Each structure stands twice: as structure tokens, then as C-alpha cells.
Structure 1
């Protein structure tokens, strides 16, 4: 699942490319939306809410999309070759000088703009909301405290608590807080710090494709523990371990340093990175 900053950046780029422009082509190839033709509409703007995107039109409707595991939006100049197969395209929005193609977007809906809250009203505060203030932070903290019996790694991933954290930031926040991902929320000594750190890391990378939590953008140096299974911890030299956290389709690979992140952990965590699920930008 992409991180919130990935969706934020996609929305920012789509907004810059499409906002204020009339669509010469507006194909929706999603099975539920194929009868709709958006050609002739003007794009009013594109906005992200957590991991959701809304493209808003001048007829009072919005196109909702969600990346899930493998979706993405690409921008091209007319006539350019697409970087993903044509059969994966679910939306094609073309203006005079730009073509936006949504690939592998499993969740799409065309709905009244005034009804967007029906799809995102259940979410916790958006960590990249430009209007973020102390009230947002307090609400995120309240929702996190309400999950007191949950593991902190799973609580951070829950979009109903606060929207935007994916597996990358979950791993890095837990490391920087010195907590095992399996620590119960009620045992976390600084929950406000967990909220603030989550927002800080997302903001750090919100306007660039690279995602760094260490301060370095050099290859192989961007993360503390994420996707570093079997490698040495940058702080103590212990080998980074991995184990599944969560159940069924919600299970994700947790990365942690057993020495820097003491606390509960599953038995037999792996130190090698074979078969890991990856959670990187599309």
C-alpha cells in the first residue's frame, strides 16, 4: 500500500497539470464506469485525503481513486508512450498538452463532489492536511489512545486513527521511538510523540519522489530498518529482523532491530529478506 506522501505528491502533480483545463478526452475504463464520458468537462482541481484522490469537475462531480497495492497515476505529453501496459489503464484524462493515465485503479467511483465525505468521512485526521492544527493532533491522539489494547505497529497503519501512514513509516516511526512494533498502545510512553513523528516524516517527503527517514537520499541509506532485513542496524550493528504482523490480507512485514527496539516480538523472526512484501512508490 502506498504511503500518504505518495498519494499527496500524485495529487499535487495532477492538480498542476489538469486544474483549469478542459478535457479533450475523458475515458473511464473501470468496469463500473465505462458508460461515463468526461470529455468536455473542466477540471477544477485534484486533492488528496489520506490515501484517497479526488479529481473534481465543473459539473459538480468528483472522480475518486485509490491506489491500493499496485495503482498509480502517470502524466504524459500527447503522443508519448505509456510506461505501463494499455490494458492496465482505468482512466485517461487528456487536455490540450497533458495526458493523465490511471493504471490498476481497482477502487474508482464517480460521485457528487458534495458527497466525498461518504468515502473518507470515516478516516482519522489526514497527516498531510494543509490545515493541520492542534485540533487535528488532539483528535489523532484521541483515536490512538482508544486503541489501547492494539499493537502500536497495527494502530499506526489504521487509517481510521490517522490517515497517511503505510508500512514504511510504521517501521521507521517504531524504530525512531525505540519501540517494538508489537508494543501495546497502552504501553507506549509518548503517544503524542508518535503522532507528531508520523506527520514530520510524511511532511519531509511530501514534495519529492524519494522517501528518506534518515536524512540521506543516497541509495541504500534512506531508511533505518524498512526493507533492510538481515542488514546491520545503523545504530548498534544488530541484524534487522522481520516478521509478519497482522492477519490475512492485512498482514504486513514488520522490520525492527531487536536491540534498539526492545519489547514483545514474535518468536523466530527472520533476519533474511526473502519473500518480503515490498511497499515502495509506484
Structure 2
């Protein structure tokens, strides 16, 4: 299970890759997030915050994705055309031009109004 420092390192890497950039492509194979794709396109990720072992991805439109990697979850910085990691289930991909971030295999993922997240 990823520990707090590992999640902080992941948040820093994700922030370096895409924070502040407009999201121009979205893939949401995870059924709980699929209906919300239009909320992310054209928005900017303002911050990646950690809360214990959870990662909060804050957008400039007032929405936050909560994710907890549990035992198997993994964040990746990639290019949109890079192959997916084998043996992992893609949950979400958010990208800007030649870069993207991907979340694999986590099952504790939800969307919240930022004002309602601690």
C-alpha cells in the first residue's frame, strides 16, 4: 500500500507535469467518473493535495477528484500515445497536448465540490 510520502511524491510529479495547463483530452473508463468527462475538458488543475494517503486533484471550476490508491492504485505521468501499463486497469487519463496523467487500478475514486472536501 502506498504510504503518505509516496503519495506526496506522486502529487509533486503530477503537479510538475500538468498543473495549470488546460485539459484538452479526457479518458474516463471508470464507471463512476464517466458521466463527468465534460466537467474536466477545458479546465485547469490548480493543485494536487494529499490528505493522508489520499490524493485530491483540484480543478479551477470548483470540482475535486478524490482518489485513494489502496493496495494497487498507481499514478503515472505519460504521453497520450504511450501504451497503457500491462496488467493494470486504467481509471482516468487527463491530458494537455503532449502530456497526460493516468490513474490505474484504484477503486476509491469520487468527484466532489471542492468546498466540501476537507
Higher share of residues assigned helix: 1
TM-score, normalised to structure 1's length? 0.39
Distance change in 2, residues 1:78/1:27 (3 Å): closer
Mapped pair 1:3 → 2:7: no
User: Secondary structure of 2:34's partner?
Assistant: coil
- Structure 2: gaps spanning 5 or more residues: none
Question: Map of 1:74-89 to 2, 5 A cutoff?
Answer: 74-85=76-87, 88-89=89-90
- Structure 1: gaps spanning 5 or more residues: 118-282
TM-score, normalised to structure 2's length? 0.90
Q: How far 1:32 moved relative to its partner?
A: 1.6
Superposed CA RMSD in Å reads 1.4
Mapped pair 1:108 → 2:103: no
1:42-72, Cα deviation, whole Å (9 max, x unpaired): 1111111110001111110111100000001
Partner of 1:54: 56
Rounded to whole Å, the distance in 1 between the matches of 2:80 and 2:26 is 14
For the 8 Å contact 1:47–1:55, the answer to whether it is kept is: yes
User: Secondary structure of 1:35's partner?
Assistant: helix
Higher share of residues assigned strand: 2
Larger Rg, first or second structure (1 or 2): 1
- Matched residue count: 116
For the 8 Å contact 1:62–1:111, the answer to whether it is kept is: yes
Mapped pair 1:73 → 2:53: no
1:95-146, Cα deviation, whole Å (9 max, x unpaired): 11211110011001111111112xxxxxxxxxxxxxxxxxxxxxxxxxxxxx
Q: How far 1:28 moved relative to its partner?
A: 2.4
Mapped pair 1:35 → 2:31: no
Q: How far 1:89 moved relative to its partner?
A: 0.4
For the 8 Å contact 1:11–1:48, the answer to whether it is kept is: yes
